[in-house]
Amino acid sequence: MARKRIIVVVEDEEPIRRGITDALRMAGYDVVEAADGEVGLIEARRAGVDLVLLDLLLPKLNGFDVLAELRVTRPALPVVILTARGSEDDRVRGLRGGADDYVVKPFSARELLARVEAVLRRSPERPAPVVRIVGGDAVVDCARREIRKGENEAVVLSEMEANILERLAAHPGRAVSREELLSCVWGIRDGSVETRAIDMHITRLRQKLAAASDDNVEWIATVRGKGYMIGASLEVKTAEGQA
Ligand code: CA
């Protein structure tokens, strides 16, 4: 089973915080609660957090300051702000400050969950983009979508194949389920497409990778009952730190 997504809820009004927390837990998320901005910032900065729901009027440190601080250390962390009805200025200021979306109070659990899902879908963990994957003497260049080995002619990957490979490489050591690949590579969430389609793309991708590299390199591992994982011996280079 995929790990539960972790959402930090920063909201000082206890009944609202509890309502949000209950709704998120019911929907299968792990929730960390924070009743003021200072605690919220500490919790939001922890590794593994997937999204932050951030009230703006908070004790100790207001939501705008929390957002500004967060953007310094976690520029890509999805943040949804909670704003009061009619406060358009806050909304605009929040979005300009780097919030990914907003929900206007009072909101229904359904509306909140829809926003959270949409933001997570747009930016699934937003890992640092994978630039290169090295397996033995062969190198996959993600921007050019090709595999090169020495002086051999480059083998070109389809956009779909490159996306699958990048998704796996962005999460080394973790099995990525077919459902996750469907939702992030194809943008499909309703399960109407056979997950077998994924297997067919994987097969073709493996054939290309094998043809372009040494036989002993395992590019994509199958994890029974879970999905696929990037080969453990590969070297993955991301764009992190280059910005
Ligand atoms: Ca408040």
223: its two tokens: 């994890």
Instruction: Please give the pLDDT value at position 1.
Output: 41
C-alpha 53 to ligand 1 mean position (Å): 12
Q: Which domains does the chain have, with CATH numbers?
A: 6-122 (3.40.50.2300), 130-238 (1.10.10.10)
C-alpha 56 to ligand 1 mean position (Å): 6
Tell whether omega for the bond before 106 is within 30 degrees of 0, i.e. cis.
yes
C-alpha 34 to ligand 1 mean position (Å): 11
C-alpha 112 to ligand 1 mean position (Å): 17
C-alpha 81 to ligand 1 mean position (Å): 11
Instruction: Please give the pLDDT value at position 187.
Output: 57
Q: Which of 56, 60, 10 is nearest to 35 (CA)?
A: 10
Instruction: Please give the pLDDT value at position 241.
Output: 43
Radius of gyration (Cα) for the chain, nearest Å? 21
Please report which residue ranges of the chain form alpha helices under DSSP H.
Answer: 14-26, 37-45, 63-73, 88-96, 109-122, 159-169, 178-181, 196-212
Instruction: Please give the pLDDT value at position 188.
Output: 55
pLDDT beneath 50, residues of the chain:
1, 189, 241-243
Q: Would you state the torsion angle of the CA atoms of residues 159, 163, 165, 170, taken in this order, to the nearest 10 degrees?
A: 150
C-alpha 80 to ligand 1 mean position (Å): 14
**Three-state DSSP class for 150?**
coil
C-alpha 72 to ligand 1 mean position (Å): 23
C-alpha 107 to ligand 1 mean position (Å): 14
Instruction: Please give the pLDDT value at position 2.
Output: 56
C-alpha 67 to ligand 1 mean position (Å): 15
C-alpha 65 to ligand 1 mean position (Å): 14
C-alpha 13 to ligand 1 mean position (Å): 6
C-alpha 12 to ligand 1 mean position (Å): 5
C-alpha 217 to ligand 1 mean position (Å): 54
Instruction: Please give the pLDDT value at position 202.
Output: 94
User: Dihedral of CA 121/127/133/135: which sign?
Assistant: negative
Rounded CA-CA distance 14/166 in Å is 41
Rounded CA-CA distance 199/28 in Å is 27
C-alpha 117 to ligand 1 mean position (Å): 23
C-alpha 122 to ligand 1 mean position (Å): 27
C-alpha 4 to ligand 1 mean position (Å): 27
C-alpha 82 to ligand 1 mean position (Å): 9
CA-to-CA separations, 79 to 69, 99, 105, in angstroms, rounded? 12, 5, 16
Instruction: Please give the pLDDT value at position 131.
Output: 86
Classify strands 130-135 and 235-238 as parallel, antiparallel or unpaired.
antiparallel
151: its two tokens: 């002086």
